Chain A
Amino acid sequence: MSEDLDKLISDAVEKALQGDMDVINNIEDRVTRSKAKAALVKAKRLAKAAIAEDAPKPEESKAVEALPAELSLTEKVSAVIAKKFPNTIESDEENSHIQMKGKNWFEIAQYLRDNPDFLFDSLQCVTGYDFGENEDLEVRYNLHSMTHNHAIEIRIKTDRNDPKVPSVEKVWRIGDWFERETYDMYGIVFEGHSNMTRILCPEDWEGWPLRKDYEVQETYHGIVVPKVKDGWE
């Protein structure tokens, strides 16, 4: 009996890998169906790993080894990016972050994620920032590597009247929601994002709440929005 089941599952998985999910979905018994689905996830993962092994390994960057060892990670990353993508780094003086220009950010993000010396596979946090009324806006990214257990911060300034930064939604999937939140609060548009809509505020809310010059709209659908008192008693 169990051999029959195994065969049924393996057949269904094979069909599903060819794109026909109905075989799995049509399995009557619930437990068997779950097993088949789990087997499918596993098979897909194995296939992916096999492809990754076959693919030519990205050339190991010698650029990092050539740098003096006493440099901090931030300085190393900024030196490597400056070499590979000229005219993108503005400064890394404070040694706590890298100040960058917006252009090429998508490619740089991909490079930082895939470079074996850095492997920043996790986007920890995206923070919007306002320098004050009539000043620039900024987006701050905190990257982290699960493999090397190291972290850096990248900052990208953008113009207040036409704030635009390339989206990294396709590099780190969580970028999707983080960027929507930043858009919601600061009005910074992430170019290339698949669904640039508000996430926390209602869709038809006016203004960008976390900007320093934000003024609350007086009414919303006929409801009076309570005013925030100046200061606190």
Chain B
Amino acid sequence: MGVIHGDLMTLNIGPQHPSTHGVLRLKVKTDGEIISEVEPIIGYLHRCFEKHCENVTYDQVIPYTDRCDYIASMNNNFGYAVTIEALMEIKVPERVEYIRIIVAELNRIASHLLALGTYGLDVGAFTPFLYMFRDRERILDLFETLCGARLLYNYIWVGGLSHDLPRDFVESVFSFLDYFEPKIEEYNELLTYNKIFIERTADIGVLPPEVAISFGVTGPNLRGSGVKWDIRKDDPYSIYDKFDYDIPIGAGEMGTVGDCWDRYYVRMVEMKESAKIIRQALKGLPAGDVHQALPKKIRPPKGSIYKRTESPRGDLAYYIVSDGSPIPYRLKMRSPAFTALSVLGEISQGWMMSDVIAILGSLDIVLGEIDR
């Protein structure tokens, strides 16, 4: 075609690099400053999660799930507990369901705050990061009063919870929400509608919906591409069908549908919706005993199950095979960040080096969950 191409240069980012959000290596081939190929190399955090699970009892697996997606441990506990309960056909008390949803949505807000804050950091905005971490800290404090841990909770157990709510927890969450909801406006002013931020993210790294589906991308990344898909609505588990909330999707407000800005903004709106769910759950919280349905010994019947839940990063699923013993025969975790990272090579082609960092940040990956 009469085009002269120079040699491609291979550039290595990571495995230790602040913008890779963990221990991730990117092998980048560039033509000048333009990217022609990105190959993510993973596995640096592989801790044999699935092999461990085949050697411990069902309840001992829960702390391991904490350590997969360490930003949203509650949601990982939740997904695992829901899966085993479905396999064993345990009906958990109403109060447990409500508390689970409150903590899972709080954790979703905390996770999104971290994702959005570090995303600002990736594209050069330092201040919003500090604002968001200040508010995330309040959620972690709430969790600390709840179960003593700040990140790795081991709180949601099969059939129940490790503790009931502490005194004044409901009031503290209400006052947190009163404090937090107006703050979203503040973030919007600081970051969302910042001119520089928009120029760094709008129209960049467009992820078309059919590509997203083919790559198994789920959660806010898929919704950013304009696909209204949320397990909480489309395949409801627990009692998510009792609440009234919306599923935000990307609309291409600043550029094209499915660009980095859309993925970012979906998370921002989702925090509002989570706050809405928490308010409803707090109001409807019934009394009861949270330890009532805890099984003495967890021995699921023979069989297999595949169950999906909506973690802050998307479709978190467990495939569990039981042979009737107290130890899982096979446990596979389908991690949403794994599929999200696999699309990076596809959507980074043709962009600049600095855009790859913006695209990677907008996918919101957690390496602990990818490598397991």
Q: Which residues of A contact B (CB under 8 A)?
A: 19-22, 24-25, 30-31, 34-35, 37-38, 41-42, 45, 96, 121-125, 127-130, 140, 142, 146, 149, 153, 172-174, 176-177, 185, 198-202, 209-210, 228, 232
Contacts and interface: CB of A to CB of B under 8 A. Distances in A.
19 contacts: A34-B202, A34-B203, A35-B203, A37-B203, A38-B259, A41-B208, A42-B256, A122-B214, A122-B216, A125-B319, A125-B332, A125-B334, A130-B330, A140-B319, A173-B214, A173-B343, A185-B50, A200-B42, A210-B54
Interface string B1-30: 101000000000000000000000000000
B311 to A, nearest CB: 14
Q: Per DSSP, are chain A's interface residues mostly helix, strand or loop, or mixed?
A: mixed
A127 B332 contact: yes
Given A173-B215, A209-B48, A20 B3 contact: yes
Given A30-B199, A34-B204, A41-B208, A200 B214 contact: no
A34 B332 CA distance: 40
Contacts of B351: 37
B55 interface: yes
Contacts of A124: 216, 306, 308, 315, 317, 334
A130 to B, nearest CB: 8
B46 interface: yes
Contacts of B213: 121-122, 146
Nearest to A153: B306
Interface in B232-251: 234-235
Contacts of B135: none
A200 B229 CA distance: 29
A42 B42 CA distance: 31
Nearest to B331: A127
A45 B60 CA distance: 48
A34 B354 CA distance: 13
A129 B6 CA distance: 47
Contact of A37 (B319, B346, B350): B350
A73 to B, nearest CB: 14
B208 A199 contact: no
B256 A41 contact: yes
B227 A199 contact: no
Given A38-B256, A174-B216, A200-B42, 12 more contacts: A25-B350, A34-B204, A129-B330, A130-B330, A173-B214, A173-B343, A174-B342, A176-B342, A177-B342, A185-B50, A199-B42, A201-B43
A38 B260 CA distance: 12
B203 A125 contact: no
B236 to A, nearest CB: 12
Nearest to A129: B330
A124 B314 CA distance: 12
B338 interface: yes
A210 B55 contact: no
Contacts of B202: 34
Contacts of B317: 124-125, 142
A20 B2 CA distance: 9
Given A177-B342, A232-B55, A123 B46 contact: no
A149 B235 contact: yes
B339 A174 contact: yes
B234 A19 contact: no
A96 B302 CA distance: 13
Contacts of A202: 43
Nearest to A209: B51
B34 interface: yes
Interface string B40-57: 001100101011001110
